[in-house]
Chain A
Amino acid sequence: DVKVTQSSRYLVKRTGEKVFLECVQDMDHENMFWYRQDPGLGLRLIYFSYDVKMKEKGDIPEGYSVSREKKERFSLILESASTNQTSMYLCAGAPGLGTYEQYFGPGTRLTVT
């Protein structure tokens, strides 16, 4: 079975803090993705990566950055957390190479106070 893990299920941070959300996949997937999910807004793509050290902006990259130093690990960084970044964050991995299935982690519920 494909396994995508996220470092925390629940996280509470203060406004202005730097926040790191870690995602690890164990299936040697080429592609990795970060989404946020909010009620009424569905899943929105923040950033994605096709390869180590490569990154592409998604639909809502403002206020976020990412890092992919190793193939299995994709980190989402909130440089200075704000209350409007309170959300459910979902990481996904995908084999790439012409297939489109994405496999999600369990999610991190981030609250910024």
Chain B
Amino acid sequence: GQQLNQSPQSMFIQEGEDVSMNCTSSSIFNTWLWYKQDPGEGPVLLIALYKAGELTSNGRLTAQFGITRKDSFLNISASIPSDVGIYFCAGPLNTGKLIFGQGTTLQVKP
């Protein structure tokens, strides 16, 4: 079946550093979604991408919809301690269902 592969699985960085993570698929997607999950909470939608090549920002977060439509990237600039959490990518299968990546766990050292 379809899978979304997120990389890296985890990151431990210093406060102030920039962060990059990506999500790849063997299938083409028409939409890419990025979520963040704080410990003990539900995922929160960060960014939605609808068009190949699209670059969208939300504060210090920037996400890109890959040209091949098989990948997407999320960057966080100047990380802060509250960026800690799990970041998930997701893409639609059909009839409204989503497939999720396994997540990238981010830890930030003050």
Contacts and interface: CB of A to CB of B under 8 A. Distances in A.
Nearest to A103: B45
Given A42-B102, A106-B42, A101 B96 contact: no
B96 A50 contact: yes
B110 interface: no
Interface residues of B, number: 21
Interface in B8-53: 31, 33, 35, 40-45, 48
Contacts of A31: 96
Contact of A106 (B35, B41, B92, B95): B41
B40 A104 contact: no
Given A48-B97, A102-B98, A107 B44 contact: no
A73 interface: no
Interface residues of A, number: 23
A100 B98 contact: yes
A36 to B, nearest CB: 12
Contacts of A102: 33, 45, 90, 98
A43 interface: yes
B85 interface: no
Nearest to B100: A43
A90 B31 contact: no
Contacts of B35: 104
B66 interface: no
Interface of A: 4, 31, 33, 42-43, 45, 48, 50, 56, 58, 90, 92, 94, 96, 100-107, 109
16 contacts: A31-B96, A42-B100, A48-B97, A50-B96, A56-B95, A90-B42, A90-B43, A100-B31, A100-B92, A100-B98, A101-B45, A102-B33, A104-B35, A104-B43, A106-B42, A107-B42
What 3 A-B pairs have minimum CB-CB distances, sorted nearest first? A104-B42, A100-B92, A43-B100
